[in-house]
Structure 1
Amino acid sequence: MSMRVTFLGTSGAVPTTHRNPTAIYCQREGDGFLFDCGEGTQRQMMRFRTGFSIDHIFVTHTHGDHVLGIPGLVQTMDFNERDAALAIHCPPGEKRLVERLVSATGTRPSFPVRVNEVTAGEVALRGDEYEVRAFDVEHRTTAVGYALVEDDRKGRFDRDRAEELGVPVGPKFSALHEGRSVELDDGTVVDPEQVVGDPRPGRRFVYTGDTEPVDSTVEAATRADLLVHDATFAEDRRDRASQTGHSTAKQAGEVAARAGAKRLALTHISSRYAGDVSAHLDEARSVFAGEVFVPEDGDTVEIPYPDAA
């Protein structure tokens, strides 16, 4: 089952000619999710061929560079004769503002749009073998981050061991893999733990939105397969990062290291760094041993299972 993340917008508050305001598209098999929706996101979705098949938008906070794309995206969906419902999840107290964005052109879309406030610690969405959880972040306004966390998967079925125990090929194999004991023709009972390995972890994708480095991100991103963390500034603007509720690349690396994350994507890059993000990479790599990258708009990464070869 595939999971991939496409970076539609990677700039800080001020866009550049190469970086659009914040938006991240995540596709998990047939489910599509959008995390934040900066201005022009609908064009980025066309440009990078993600399509508009999303049923959920997760808003971290309502600063303009994270939400001003909502009116245009909703209108584009309407023009495309969408009829499926759309859910927009946002932090507490922001429902009315988001609803105003949905109807900013003075009309309501022809398809249902539901706005749902979600508090840190709550499950924003429970899907088929996964959930999207909100967690605390620290910015200059009410804000949350989101973690897409898959359920544990079944352990590996040891067919050879099952046959050694006399289990016939067929329905009893499935029963054991589903966790049910089976009785053989001679009365012997075979239990699942005899032929099924330990549960295997699912994948974890974590997106902070705008935030200072905080312990709650470390907790949410524990053993994350991909952590997308605010890295608006390099260390030369550490004081500015603190004043504005952002992080430096080094601080993002420290969070990733504490969390034991596998990969770290540095986003929300201030326009002051233009096309030179070498300092961001050097600083994060100085404290984090995992893979670090600064995505460009349009970059797509696959998230494999933790036990993938």
Structure 2
Amino acid sequence: VDAIFVTHWHADHFLGIFGLVQTMSFNGRTEPLTLYGPVWVHECVETIKKIGRFNLKFPLDSVELSEGSWVRFNGYTVTAFAASHGLPALGYVLEEDPRPGRFDRERAIELGVPPGPLFGRLQRGETVKVTKDGEEREVLPSDVMGAPRPGRKIVYTGDTRPVIPALLSYGKEADLLIHDATYDESEKKRAAEFYHATAAQAGQAAAATDARVLALTHISSRYTDTVAHAAEAKAAFSGTVIIPDDLFMLDVTYRN
């Protein structure tokens, strides 16, 4: 675990961090760990350091985020957007960097680039010099590379009422949209009262933002099955709808 992003400060969304940090320390962790989240993240980290009564063996830091904040990692960025949950709350977009376009091997050979190391240099964005018909010339990456292709994008709303405008601003065309679906439509008023979404509203958000896969989460324990949730989401969204169990593993594929 290199970083922790907290959506909001309801107990079921952060209390586990106390035990996790202590376990990491007992197991000999020395690498720094940063906790990211909305207002109160600094106080949370200070509380973790004080309440455990143990010697923390690694640096634990905090960074406060708000809508539009972004954190850069190696090869991807995490961006925060505002959720609607009755207290400061954030959702997060994890987006990979664009991938290089497809390499046109035939075009490269036509321009005089011999198969071999120069192919790799062009794919890495370097300009190369070649000799064709006795004339030295430069071949640019743009001469043989297609348009950049998008990386994968995962959007997590956290607990929230529907926030389609925010999703349109920050989370369009998600390869995976993980959306609050606490209630079915029979409890739509309760959902609004307690700042949650219904499965149908999650489906509407997925459709509006052109998501590929919709994962319904945070389903209330009042339900003994999720048949209605799945049906209501699928009525609003033509893509793939899943209702994952804990520890479910999903391979997020590229769009193209």
Q: Structure 2: where are the runs of 5+ without partners?
A: none
Once residues 74 and 93 of structure 1 are traced to their aligned partners in structure 2, the CA distance between those partners, rounded to angstroms, is 18
AA partner of residue 68 (structure 1): L
Aligned residues: 252
Give secondary structure in 2 for the equivalent of 1:188: strand
Measured after TM superposition, the shift of residue 236 of structure 1 is 0.9
2:7 pairs with one of 60, 74, 87: 60
AA partner of residue 25 (structure 2): D
Once residues 45 and 138 of structure 2 are traced to their aligned partners in structure 1, the CA distance between those partners, rounded to angstroms, is 58
> How do 1:93-172 and structure 2 match up within 5 A?
93-123=40-70, 125-172=71-118
Give secondary structure in 2 for the equivalent of 1:271: coil
Given the alignment of the two structures, is residue 246 of structure 1 paired with residue 186 of structure 2, yes or no? no
- The one-character-per-residue Cα deviations of 1:163-193 (angstroms, maximum 9, x if unpaired) are 1221123343233223333332222332322
- 8 Å Cα contact 1:135/1:144 also seen in 2: yes
Give secondary structure in 1 for the equivalent of 2:254: coil
1:69 aligns with 16
Give secondary structure in 2 for the equivalent of 1:109: coil
> How do 1:1-309 and structure 2 match up within 5 A?
54-123=1-70, 125-185=71-131, 186-214=135-163, 215-274=165-224, 276-307=225-256
Measured after TM superposition, the shift of residue 297 of structure 1 is 1.1
Measured after TM superposition, the shift of residue 104 of structure 1 is 2.5
Runs ≥4 in structure 1, deviation > 6 angstroms?
A: none
- Greater radius of gyration (CA): 2
- The one-character-per-residue Cα deviations of 1:265-287 (angstroms, maximum 9, x if unpaired) are 0001111013x000100000000
Q: TM-score, normalised by structure 2?
A: 0.94
Once residues 239 and 50 of structure 2 are traced to their aligned partners in structure 1, the CA distance between those partners, rounded to angstroms, is 43
Measured after TM superposition, the shift of residue 201 of structure 1 is 0.5
Which one has more relative contact order, counting CA pairs under 8 Å at least 6 apart? Answer: 1
- 8 Å Cα contact 2:41/2:63 also seen in 1: no
Percent identical among aligned pairs is 47
Deviates more, 1:93-102 or 1:218-227: 93-102
Q: TM-score, normalised by structure 1?
A: 0.78
- 8 Å Cα contact 1:92/1:117 also seen in 2: yes
Q: Structure 1: where are the runs of 5+ without partners?
A: 1-53
Measured after TM superposition, the shift of residue 111 of structure 1 is 1.1
Once residues 95 and 70 of structure 1 are traced to their aligned partners in structure 2, the CA distance between those partners, rounded to angstroms, is 14
Once residues 55 and 39 of structure 2 are traced to their aligned partners in structure 1, the CA distance between those partners, rounded to angstroms, is 23
Given the superposition, is the C-alpha separation of residues 102 and 277 from structure 1 closer, same or farther in structure 2, using an over 3 Å criterion? farther
Given the superposition, is the C-alpha separation of residues 229 and 108 from structure 1 closer, same or farther in structure 2, using an over 3 Å criterion? farther
Measured after TM superposition, the shift of residue 107 of structure 1 is 3.0
Once residues 81 and 190 of structure 1 are traced to their aligned partners in structure 2, the CA distance between those partners, rounded to angstroms, is 52
Root-mean-square deviation (CA, aligned residues, Å) is: 1.4
AA partner of residue 282 (structure 1): A
- The one-character-per-residue Cα deviations of 1:241-270 (angstroms, maximum 9, x if unpaired) are 101110000001000100000000000111
AA partner of residue 128 (structure 1): N
